[in-house]
Amino acid sequence: MDTIIPIFHSLSKSMRNIHKSSCDEVSVVQSSILYEISLIIKPSMQTVAEAVGMDITTFSRQIGTLEKKELLIRTPYEGDRRIYLLSLTSKGSAIVTSINEIIAAKMEGALASMNDFERETVLRSMYVLEEKLRGS
Amino acid sequence: MDTIIPIFHSLSKSMRNIHKSSCDEVSVVQSSILYEISLIIKPSMQTVAEAVGMDITTFSRQIGTLEKKELLIRTPYEGDRRIYLLSLTSKGSAIVTSINEIIAAKMEGALASMNDFERETVLRSMYVLEEKLRGS
DNA sequence: GATTTTCATTTGCACTTTGCAAGTTACTAA
DNA sequence: TTAGTAACTTGCAAAGTGCAAATGAAAATC
Protein backbone atom coordinates (compact mmCIF):
# COMPACT_ATOMS: atom_id res chain seq x y z
CA MET A 1 0.00 0.00 0.00
CA ASP A 2 0.93 3.63 -0.35
CA THR A 3 -0.25 4.39 3.13
CA ILE A 4 2.12 2.08 4.96
CA ILE A 5 5.33 3.97 4.29
CA PRO A 6 4.48 7.28 5.97
CA ILE A 7 3.09 5.36 8.92
CA PHE A 8 6.21 3.24 9.14
CA HIS A 9 8.60 6.18 9.03
CA SER A 10 6.73 8.44 11.38
CA LEU A 11 6.07 5.71 13.90
CA SER A 12 9.70 4.62 13.98
CA LYS A 13 10.71 8.23 14.35
CA SER A 14 8.35 8.80 17.26
CA MET A 15 9.43 5.64 19.01
CA ARG A 16 13.09 6.42 18.51
CA ASN A 17 12.56 9.92 19.94
CA ILE A 18 10.79 8.51 22.95
CA HIS A 19 13.56 6.04 23.58
CA LYS A 20 16.28 8.65 23.13
CA SER A 21 14.66 11.21 25.39
CA SER A 22 14.18 8.56 28.06
CA CYS A 23 17.90 7.76 28.24
CA ASP A 24 19.90 10.03 30.45
CA GLU A 25 23.18 8.47 31.47
CA VAL A 26 23.41 6.08 28.57
CA SER A 27 23.08 6.04 24.78
CA VAL A 28 20.11 4.43 23.05
CA VAL A 29 22.28 1.53 21.91
CA GLN A 30 23.57 1.00 25.42
CA SER A 31 20.04 1.14 26.75
CA SER A 32 19.07 -1.62 24.33
CA ILE A 33 21.97 -3.75 25.47
CA LEU A 34 21.07 -3.31 29.13
CA TYR A 35 17.44 -4.05 28.38
CA GLU A 36 18.23 -7.28 26.56
CA ILE A 37 20.41 -8.42 29.43
CA SER A 38 17.57 -7.68 31.83
CA LEU A 39 15.38 -10.13 29.91
CA ILE A 40 17.62 -13.16 30.11
CA ILE A 41 19.30 -14.83 33.02
CA LYS A 42 23.05 -14.64 32.66
CA PRO A 43 23.28 -14.58 28.87
CA SER A 44 26.58 -14.89 27.02
CA MET A 45 28.09 -12.01 25.03
CA GLN A 46 27.20 -13.69 21.79
CA THR A 47 23.58 -14.17 22.77
CA VAL A 48 23.05 -10.53 23.62
CA ALA A 49 25.02 -9.21 20.65
CA GLU A 50 22.76 -11.22 18.40
CA ALA A 51 19.63 -10.10 20.22
CA VAL A 52 20.59 -6.48 19.79
CA GLY A 53 21.61 -7.10 16.18
CA MET A 54 25.08 -5.73 16.65
CA ASP A 55 28.52 -6.62 15.39
CA ILE A 56 30.27 -8.66 18.07
CA THR A 57 33.41 -6.54 18.05
CA THR A 58 31.55 -3.29 18.59
CA PHE A 59 29.47 -5.08 21.17
CA SER A 60 32.53 -6.26 23.05
CA ARG A 61 33.71 -2.68 23.37
CA GLN A 62 30.31 -1.45 24.50
CA ILE A 63 30.32 -4.10 27.19
CA GLY A 64 33.71 -2.81 28.26
CA THR A 65 32.30 0.68 28.56
CA LEU A 66 29.23 -0.45 30.48
CA GLU A 67 31.37 -2.51 32.81
CA LYS A 68 33.56 0.53 33.52
CA LYS A 69 30.40 2.44 34.32
CA GLU A 70 29.54 -0.38 36.71
CA LEU A 71 26.23 -1.10 35.05
CA LEU A 72 26.99 -4.74 34.39
CA ILE A 73 29.55 -7.43 35.13
CA ARG A 74 31.16 -10.17 33.10
CA THR A 75 31.60 -13.49 34.87
CA PRO A 76 33.55 -16.36 33.32
CA TYR A 77 31.38 -19.37 32.65
CA GLU A 78 32.60 -22.44 34.51
CA GLY A 79 31.53 -24.93 31.89
CA ASP A 80 33.36 -23.21 29.04
CA ARG A 81 36.07 -20.71 29.72
CA ARG A 82 35.73 -18.97 26.37
CA ILE A 83 32.35 -17.70 27.44
CA TYR A 84 31.53 -14.73 29.62
CA LEU A 85 28.12 -14.39 31.21
CA LEU A 86 26.60 -10.97 31.54
CA SER A 87 24.48 -9.67 34.36
CA LEU A 88 23.34 -6.25 35.47
CA THR A 89 24.58 -4.64 38.63
CA SER A 90 21.97 -3.04 40.84
CA LYS A 91 22.95 0.28 39.32
CA GLY A 92 22.40 -1.21 35.87
CA SER A 93 19.00 -2.60 36.81
CA ALA A 94 18.04 0.73 38.29
CA ILE A 95 18.84 2.47 35.01
CA VAL A 96 16.83 -0.04 32.99
CA THR A 97 13.90 0.38 35.35
CA SER A 98 14.11 4.13 35.20
CA ILE A 99 14.26 4.21 31.40
CA ASN A 100 11.35 1.81 31.17
CA GLU A 101 9.29 3.90 33.54
CA ILE A 102 9.84 7.01 31.47
CA ILE A 103 8.99 5.19 28.26
CA ALA A 104 5.90 3.67 29.83
CA ALA A 105 4.77 7.06 31.10
CA LYS A 106 5.11 8.56 27.65
CA MET A 107 3.31 5.69 25.99
CA GLU A 108 0.53 5.81 28.53
CA GLY A 109 0.27 9.53 28.07
CA ALA A 110 -0.35 8.90 24.41
CA LEU A 111 -2.87 6.17 25.10
CA ALA A 112 -4.59 8.18 27.82
CA SER A 113 -7.06 9.93 25.59
CA MET A 114 -8.36 6.65 24.20
CA ASN A 115 -11.14 4.61 25.67
CA ASP A 116 -10.45 1.16 27.06
CA PHE A 117 -11.48 -0.59 23.90
CA GLU A 118 -9.32 1.52 21.63
CA ARG A 119 -6.35 1.23 23.93
CA GLU A 120 -6.68 -2.53 23.98
CA THR A 121 -6.96 -2.57 20.20
CA VAL A 122 -3.81 -0.50 19.74
CA LEU A 123 -1.79 -2.57 22.19
CA ARG A 124 -2.96 -5.80 20.68
CA SER A 125 -2.15 -4.52 17.19
CA MET A 126 1.38 -3.61 18.20
CA TYR A 127 1.81 -7.02 19.69
CA VAL A 128 0.47 -8.83 16.64
CA LEU A 129 2.52 -6.73 14.30
CA GLU A 130 5.74 -7.26 16.18
CA GLU A 131 5.14 -10.98 16.24
CA LYS A 132 4.70 -11.07 12.49
CA LEU A 133 7.67 -8.80 11.84
CA ARG A 134 9.93 -10.89 13.98
CA GLY A 135 9.16 -13.90 11.82
CA SER A 136 10.36 -12.31 8.60
CA MET B 1 1.16 -1.22 32.33
CA ASP B 2 3.71 -3.95 32.56
CA THR B 3 2.87 -5.19 29.09
CA ILE B 4 3.71 -2.05 27.19
CA ILE B 5 7.46 -2.11 27.70
CA PRO B 6 8.28 -5.44 26.02
CA ILE B 7 6.01 -4.48 23.15
CA PHE B 8 7.67 -1.11 22.82
CA HIS B 9 11.19 -2.51 22.79
CA SER B 10 10.56 -5.41 20.50
CA LEU B 11 8.54 -3.39 18.03
CA SER B 12 11.17 -0.66 17.80
CA LYS B 13 13.79 -3.31 17.36
CA SER B 14 11.88 -5.01 14.54
CA MET B 15 11.21 -1.74 12.79
CA ARG B 16 14.79 -0.65 13.11
CA ASN B 17 15.98 -3.95 11.68
CA ILE B 18 13.62 -3.63 8.75
CA HIS B 19 14.79 -0.12 8.04
CA LYS B 20 18.45 -1.08 8.35
CA SER B 21 18.20 -4.10 6.12
CA SER B 22 16.38 -2.06 3.50
CA CYS B 23 19.23 0.43 3.16
CA ASP B 24 21.98 -0.59 0.87
CA GLU B 25 24.04 2.34 -0.28
CA VAL B 26 23.19 4.57 2.62
CA SER B 27 23.04 4.50 6.43
CA VAL B 28 19.74 4.50 8.30
CA VAL B 29 20.28 8.09 9.37
CA GLN B 30 21.00 9.14 5.82
CA SER B 31 17.93 7.27 4.65
CA SER B 32 15.84 9.24 7.13
CA ILE B 33 17.29 12.50 5.89
CA LEU B 34 16.55 11.64 2.28
CA TYR B 35 13.05 10.52 3.20
CA GLU B 36 12.25 13.75 5.01
CA ILE B 37 13.48 15.78 2.06
CA SER B 38 11.27 13.73 -0.23
CA LEU B 39 8.24 14.82 1.80
CA ILE B 40 8.73 18.55 1.56
CA ILE B 41 9.27 20.81 -1.42
CA LYS B 42 12.66 22.47 -1.22
CA PRO B 43 13.06 22.57 2.56
CA SER B 44 15.86 24.48 4.27
CA MET B 45 18.65 22.70 6.14
CA GLN B 46 17.21 23.79 9.44
CA THR B 47 13.76 22.44 8.63
CA VAL B 48 15.03 18.99 7.78
CA ALA B 49 17.50 18.82 10.64
CA GLU B 50 14.64 19.51 13.00
CA ALA B 51 12.37 17.00 11.31
CA VAL B 52 15.00 14.30 11.67
CA GLY B 53 15.73 15.40 15.22
CA MET B 54 19.40 15.87 14.60
CA ASP B 55 22.04 18.34 15.71
CA ILE B 56 22.47 20.93 12.96
CA THR B 57 26.24 20.57 12.82
CA THR B 58 26.12 16.82 12.36
CA PHE B 59 23.35 17.35 9.88
CA SER B 60 25.41 19.84 7.89
CA ARG B 61 28.15 17.27 7.48
CA GLN B 62 25.73 14.53 6.49
CA ILE B 63 24.33 16.82 3.83
CA GLY B 64 27.88 17.33 2.59
CA THR B 65 28.32 13.58 2.32
CA LEU B 66 25.01 13.08 0.55
CA GLU B 67 25.79 15.89 -1.85
CA LYS B 68 29.13 14.29 -2.70
CA LYS B 69 27.28 11.06 -3.38
CA GLU B 70 25.06 13.10 -5.71
CA LEU B 71 21.89 12.14 -3.88
CA LEU B 72 20.82 15.71 -3.22
CA ILE B 73 21.71 19.28 -4.03
CA ARG B 74 21.89 22.46 -2.04
CA THR B 75 20.59 25.56 -3.82
CA PRO B 76 20.98 29.02 -2.31
CA TYR B 77 17.65 30.61 -1.52
CA GLU B 78 17.18 33.86 -3.38
CA GLY B 79 15.14 35.55 -0.68
CA ASP B 80 17.73 34.95 2.04
CA ARG B 81 21.28 34.02 1.20
CA ARG B 82 21.98 32.41 4.55
CA ILE B 83 19.56 29.69 3.63
CA TYR B 84 20.16 26.66 1.46
CA LEU B 85 17.26 24.72 0.01
CA LEU B 86 17.58 20.98 -0.30
CA SER B 87 16.23 18.79 -3.03
CA LEU B 88 16.85 15.24 -4.12
CA THR B 89 18.57 14.39 -7.34
CA SER B 90 16.97 11.70 -9.47
CA LYS B 91 19.52 9.30 -8.01
CA GLY B 92 18.46 10.37 -4.55
CA SER B 93 14.77 9.91 -5.31
CA ALA B 94 15.49 6.52 -6.78
CA ILE B 95 17.16 5.43 -3.56
CA VAL B 96 14.28 6.67 -1.44
CA THR B 97 11.83 4.86 -3.68
CA SER B 98 13.85 1.69 -3.58
CA ILE B 99 14.17 1.73 0.20
CA ASN B 100 10.48 2.40 0.60
CA GLU B 101 9.60 -0.45 -1.70
CA ILE B 102 11.68 -2.88 0.29
CA ILE B 103 10.21 -1.66 3.56
CA ALA B 104 6.69 -1.87 2.14
CA ALA B 105 7.30 -5.39 0.88
CA LYS B 106 8.50 -6.50 4.29
CA MET B 107 5.60 -4.87 6.06
CA GLU B 108 3.13 -6.35 3.64
CA GLY B 109 4.74 -9.72 4.07
CA ALA B 110 4.06 -9.44 7.77
CA LEU B 111 0.49 -8.31 7.22
CA ALA B 112 -0.13 -10.94 4.56
CA SER B 113 -1.30 -13.66 6.90
CA MET B 114 -3.98 -11.44 8.39
CA ASN B 115 -7.49 -11.06 7.09
CA ASP B 116 -8.65 -7.72 5.73
CA PHE B 117 -10.24 -6.66 8.95
CA GLU B 118 -7.23 -7.40 11.08
CA ARG B 119 -4.89 -5.72 8.64
CA GLU B 120 -7.04 -2.60 8.66
CA THR B 121 -7.12 -2.66 12.43
CA VAL B 122 -3.35 -2.91 12.70
CA LEU B 123 -2.72 -0.14 10.20
CA ARG B 124 -5.25 2.11 11.80
CA SER B 125 -3.76 1.44 15.22
CA MET B 126 -0.29 2.37 14.04
CA TYR B 127 -1.66 5.53 12.58
CA VAL B 128 -3.57 6.49 15.70
CA LEU B 129 -0.64 5.70 17.94
CA GLU B 130 1.82 7.71 15.91
CA GLU B 131 -0.54 10.66 15.92
CA LYS B 132 -0.80 10.58 19.69
CA LEU B 133 2.91 10.07 20.18
CA ARG B 134 3.78 12.97 17.95
CA GLY B 135 1.70 15.22 20.15
CA SER B 136 3.67 14.48 23.31
C1' DG C 1 47.63 -37.91 22.96
C1' DA C 2 49.04 -34.61 19.43
C1' DT C 3 47.18 -31.78 15.76
C1' DT C 4 43.87 -29.40 13.41
C1' DT C 5 39.66 -27.09 13.40
C1' DT C 6 36.28 -24.43 15.29
C1' DC C 7 34.44 -21.22 18.62
C1' DA C 8 33.88 -16.95 21.91
C1' DT C 9 35.84 -13.01 22.76
C1' DT C 10 39.32 -9.16 22.25
C1' DT C 11 42.41 -5.90 19.83
C1' DG C 12 44.47 -3.13 15.92
C1' DC C 13 43.27 -0.10 12.71
C1' DA C 14 40.90 3.06 9.89
C1' DC C 15 36.78 5.32 8.97
C1' DT C 16 32.35 7.42 10.24
C1' DT C 17 29.31 9.84 13.39
C1' DT C 18 28.42 12.93 16.92
C1' DG C 19 28.01 17.51 19.45
C1' DC C 20 29.93 21.48 21.59
C1' DA C 21 32.31 25.85 20.90
C1' DA C 22 33.68 29.06 17.83
C1' DG C 23 33.67 31.00 13.16
C1' DT C 24 31.62 33.06 8.81
C1' DT C 25 28.31 35.38 6.21
C1' DA C 26 23.89 37.49 5.79
C1' DC C 27 19.62 39.50 7.44
C1' DT C 28 17.24 42.69 10.99
C1' DA C 29 16.48 46.15 14.46
C1' DA C 30 18.11 50.19 16.74
C1' DT D 1 25.94 52.54 11.19
C1' DT D 2 26.08 49.47 14.57
C1' DA D 3 24.58 45.74 17.45
C1' DG D 4 22.28 41.98 17.46
C1' DT D 5 20.54 37.63 15.72
C1' DA D 6 19.94 33.85 12.39
C1' DA D 7 21.59 29.98 9.06
C1' DC D 8 25.02 27.46 8.13
C1' DT D 9 30.08 25.62 8.44
C1' DT D 10 34.42 24.17 10.61
C1' DG D 11 37.77 22.65 14.44
C1' DC D 12 38.23 19.54 17.59
C1' DA D 13 37.86 15.68 20.58
C1' DA D 14 35.22 11.84 21.83
C1' DA D 15 32.41 7.94 20.72
C1' DG D 16 30.74 4.31 17.60
C1' DT D 17 31.46 1.17 13.80
C1' DG D 18 33.21 -3.13 11.28
C1' DC D 19 36.72 -5.77 9.03
C1' DA D 20 40.90 -8.48 9.64
C1' DA D 21 43.80 -10.58 12.67
C1' DA D 22 45.01 -12.24 17.38
C1' DT D 23 44.21 -14.85 21.66
C1' DG D 24 42.80 -18.54 24.38
C1' DA D 25 39.88 -22.50 24.95
C1' DA D 26 36.92 -26.39 23.54
C1' DA D 27 35.99 -30.05 20.07
C1' DA D 28 37.02 -33.01 16.38
C1' DT D 29 40.16 -35.66 13.81
C1' DC D 30 43.89 -38.50 13.29
- Categorize the per-residue pLDDT at B42 as very low, low, confident or very high, splitting at 50, 70 and 90: very high
Of B78, B73, B103, which Cα lies nearest the Cα of B89?
A: B73
Q: Which fold, A19-99?
A: Arc Repressor Mutant, subunit A (1.10.10)
Q: Is B30 exposed, middle or buried (0-12, 13-18, 19+ CB in 10 A)?
A: buried
Q: Which nucleotides of C are covered by protein (CB under 7 A)?
A: 7-12, 16-22, 25-28
Q: Does A7 reach chain B within 8 Å, measured CB to CB?
A: yes
pLDDT tens digits for range A79-89: 999 999 999 99
| B59 pLDDT more than 80 | yes
Query: In the CATH hierarchy, which top-level class contains the domain B16-99?
Result: mainly alpha
Q: Average pLDDT, stretch B20-41? A: 97
> Which pLDDT tens digit goes with each residue over A20-46?
999 999 999 999 999 999 999 999 999
In this predicted model, what pLDDT tens digit does every residue of B78-99 receive, in sequence order? 999 999 999 999 999 999 999 9
Asked if B123 and A4 come within 8 Å (Cβ–Cβ), the reply is yes
Amino acid at A38: S
Q: Which long-range contacts (CB under 8 A, 24 or more apart) does A98-104 make?
A: A98/A24, A99/A22, A99/A23, A99/A26, A99/A31, A99/A35, A100/A35, A100/B5, A102/A21, A102/A22, A103/A18, A103/A19, A103/A22, A103/B4, A103/B5, A103/B8, A104/B1, A104/B4, A104/B5, A104/B8
Q: What is the pTM of this model?
A: 0.95
Predicted local distance difference test score (pLDDT) of residue A2: 76
Residue B27 pLDDT > 90: yes
Contact B95, B32 (CB under 8 A): no
CA distance B34 to A124: 32
Residue B1: pLDDT above 70? no
Torsion angle of alpha carbons A98, B13, B58, A55, nearest 10°? 100
Q: What are phi and psi of A113, to 5 degrees?
A: -85, 5
If you average pLDDT over residues B53-61, what whole number do you get? 97
Is the pLDDT confidence value at B36 over 90?
Answer: yes
Query: What angle, rounded to 10 degrees, do the helices at B56-68 and B45-52 form?
Result: 110
- Mean pLDDT, rounded, for A47-72: 97
Phi, psi values for residue A73, rounded to 5°: -130, 150
Residue nearest to nucleotide C25 (CA to C1'): B82
Confidence band, pLDDT 50/70/90 cuts, at residue A1: low
The integer distance in angstroms from the CA atom of B54 to the C1' atom of C18 is 10
pLDDT over threshold 60, residue B56: yes
Nearest to A14 by CA among B15, B134, B93, B75: B134
Is the pLDDT assigned to residue B2 strictly greater than 80? no
pLDDT(B134) > 90 = no
| Residue B9 to residue A104, Cβ atoms within 8 A | no
Domain ranges in chain B?
Answer: 16-99
